[in-house]
Structure 1
């Protein structure tokens, strides 16, 4: 489908307010030659740097978000952007925090905008460090219009809200649904599962009747943590502002551990990364179905570099949940844009953030995932559904799942992915069961929490 060309009209609702604030700061800085004002009197919730009119903004993105910058530059050619590509903090690498800490030590060099694949960075980016004010600027204390912030889907900004203050803007939601290949389900005469119990029972039938076909992978750290345990509402990663807890003995945790071990044993869950060449080589045309985030649409199923499934086969079922329980699906990323409190061009940063999170030119026409901004999400999902690629209740199930993300998962200043990658991935590869690894997995997460200063419960 050809991209729709639309004008974005929300960007300057409070441009006059920001321009006035910026002008005042320029006048004051011209007199004093140094930063002026305080977080209290700035009207923004933080102490702004001396503003430099028309200064370039430095934006950090991963490779997948480069189109967002290109779309912005096309729409706003008069705003100069210095784009720097980094790993996007993928896999909980910690590169975002490490780099910012170095700038905090030197007192200079901060980027103006940072993209992160992780939803837990607000826990550290909202705190002072090395005598510097928090890197992430508050967005709901006078800088951004509340009417704009209210446009995000319900709960979308919860992971980046600390004590009532919003420190980042979600780019997309990453709700999990059950993806299925309707042609294979029809061929085999199977029913699409709706519960984890259905899923496990289906795995036994598939293993016995069609060996070699699969129902998913646990070879990626984001899958084992966010798709399976998060989706099972298992309390293995919970936190408050100062505490952390991990409970693998909870019934839902134990049931998920047993389910994964059972399906690894019967061969319907595999250990290959879904992004690996081996996964494509071994399982192209053999994925009956698998739970996964909404961004699997373009990244896995439609991608010519991945499964490249023809149109008219893939559908999105309801999120898997335990029999008798309400749906509480997982969330796999859904990256975040952060604005630096040290920026010297408030107006340009605001314009950039509003564009990349809500403008049709990026979020509807180019973005690979379900937008966190509600109006863009409606258009995005309608566009996906109208293209004729997906089958079944794709639009309804994906949209419903956006409001069914489990609220019990934690967002501390570290990711569960690092411990999973360190303990579980090599352990499973060595032939160990997941049940035999959960104790070490928990210990690794607890140790990370202690290093970050959390009290263990």
Structure 2
């Protein structure tokens, strides 16, 4: 079974270790491509966003080396088969899974030796935060700025609104998103119809329905906060400034903000009613003991296939999806994102033509993305993905409109940082919930843990 997209590091650990959607990584082969280290940049101002990218000497016939994880390997092989004139050396590695720093460590080594960089790599959004900067004063960034005459702006503009935000650093775009995992409201339509419940469209209605379910159908659930990515479904969707980069190296972490407390208060009320569980959907034994009692779940677009279908084994034709929920005064909702990998092209590549063509094909080609395991970030390819019957037949109704709407509603204020947003949640919040503390009373400790991580990574932190 291919794992759904690229989840956050600790989320992958939870799912891989405790659910049926685990990813089996192939063995790593340390075969790195070589390219000239002769490269220069011209800086026209003090801001690094004004740096002009100058490629190394190019040879359009040279071999390119591609590093991909096992899930993306078939796609790379498909490109090779359909482009037989392109010479390729394909290497399978962990793709940044489980917080691996393998790619970063190898790039640092290649920077010291002056050769060995792969031409194209699959990685996590976190990888972009270091790949867009030099690893040492005498080096240049590993990732090439794709918006500087490498990928047409029209192509970059075709990605879902905000989906390239993790790729954009200092005014340039250093990667293309492979997939996204926009958060939506999943629900069991069969049970909702049976019990005469209306699907909520606002957070207030969600709370009220959860409280009603707790009274009328004890044991049934409308959500979980117990997984290592639950904060991305709930607090990200509430526009909570937990990971808000106000400047490239200035992080705002203010969990006392009203957008944070409104969500913690709502969830605390549902936790106390036992309508929202503090046990993770992917925790040991949950699928067997409680999977059939999940009435609603606020979570990523891959929940349908990989949570309800694969893990919970809910029969086909029961599960449906609804748009992200709104708060009072909002006309357009904001939502979160739980996963999605990226493709980067090396600034050291001697064959940028083939390298960028491959990265573009992997992320935008209908031939590749129509059968992808998760929702494509590139909007035209996403339409083809949605038209694939294999991506629709399990559900009670067409998911197209909801998925496409939510893809453009992911809030960009939850920033891509040099550290995982799952660490503090897992080490501070989840144990507190297990101990019986409320989310609201745990917010200060969560804020302190995030702030400490940020400072350790060199960020200036503001808590207001």
TM-score by length of 2: 0.82
Q: What is the alpha-carbon distance in structure 1 between the residues aligned to residue 391 and residue 175 of structure 2?
A: 32
Q: What is the alpha-carbon distance in structure 1 between the residues aligned to residue 401 and residue 108 of structure 2?
A: 43
Could you tell me whether the CA contact under 8 Å between 2:95 and 2:122 is conserved in 1? no
1:447 pairs with 2:452? yes
Question: Helix, strand or coil: the match of 1:185?
Answer: helix
Q: Is the deviation greater in 142-151 or in 367-376?
A: 142-151
Q: What is the alpha-carbon distance in structure 1 between the residues aligned to residue 64 and residue 40 of structure 2?
A: 24
Question: Helix, strand or coil: the match of 2:439?
Answer: coil
Q: Could you say which residue in structure 1 is the equivalent of 2:237?
A: 231
Q: Within 5 A, what are the aligned runs for 1:126-141? A: 126-130=132-136, 131-141=138-148
Q: Within 5 A, what are the aligned runs for 1:50-129? A: 53-61=61-69, 63-78=70-85, 79-86=87-94, 88-90=96-98, 92=99, 96-118=103-125, 120-129=126-135
For 2:295, which of 288, 296, 316 is the aligned residue? 288
Q: What is the alpha-carbon distance in structure 2 between the residues aligned to residue 242 and residue 430 of structure 1?
A: 35
Distance 1:103 1:275, change over 3 A: farther
* Count of aligned residue pairs for this structure pair: 417
Q: Could you say which residue in structure 2 is the equivalent of 1:144?
A: 151
Question: Helix, strand or coil: the match of 2:422?
Answer: helix
For 1:435, which of 416, 430, 440 is the aligned residue? 440
Q: Could you say which residue in structure 2 is the equivalent of 1:380?
A: 385
Q: Could you say which residue in structure 2 is the equivalent of 1:39?
A: 41
Deviations 1:60-112 (A, max 9, x none): 32x4333323333332345323222315344x555544553444445443333
Could you tell me whether the CA contact under 8 Å between 1:151 and 1:375 is conserved in 2? yes
Shift of 1:128: 1.1
Q: Could you say which residue in structure 1 is the equivalent of 2:327?
A: 322
1:160 pairs with 2:167? yes
Shift of 1:442: 1.0
Q: Within 5 A, what are the aligned runs for 1:123-272? A: 123-130=129-136, 131-224=138-231, 226-239=232-245, 240-272=247-279
The gaps in structure 1 that reach 5 residues or longer are 1-32
For 2:342, which of 328, 336, 340 is the aligned residue? 336
Could you tell me whether the CA contact under 8 Å between 1:170 and 1:334 is conserved in 2? yes
Q: What is the alpha-carbon distance in structure 1 between the residues aligned to residue 324 and residue 359 of structure 2?
A: 31
Could you tell me whether the CA contact under 8 Å between 2:39 and 2:54 is conserved in 1? no
Distance 1:324 1:400, change over 3 A: same
1:370 pairs with 2:375? yes
Deviations 1:124-182 (A, max 9, x none): 22111122211111111112233332332333222211233110001122211101110
Query: What is the RMSD computed on CA atoms of the aligned residues?
Result: 2.7
Q: What is the alpha-carbon distance in structure 2 between the residues aligned to residue 115 and residue 321 of structure 1?
A: 34
Q: What is the alpha-carbon distance in structure 2 between the residues aligned to residue 294 and residue 265 of structure 1?
A: 27
The gaps in structure 2 that reach 5 residues or longer are 1-34, 44-50
Q: What is the alpha-carbon distance in structure 1 between the residues aligned to residue 106 and residue 456 of structure 2?
A: 18
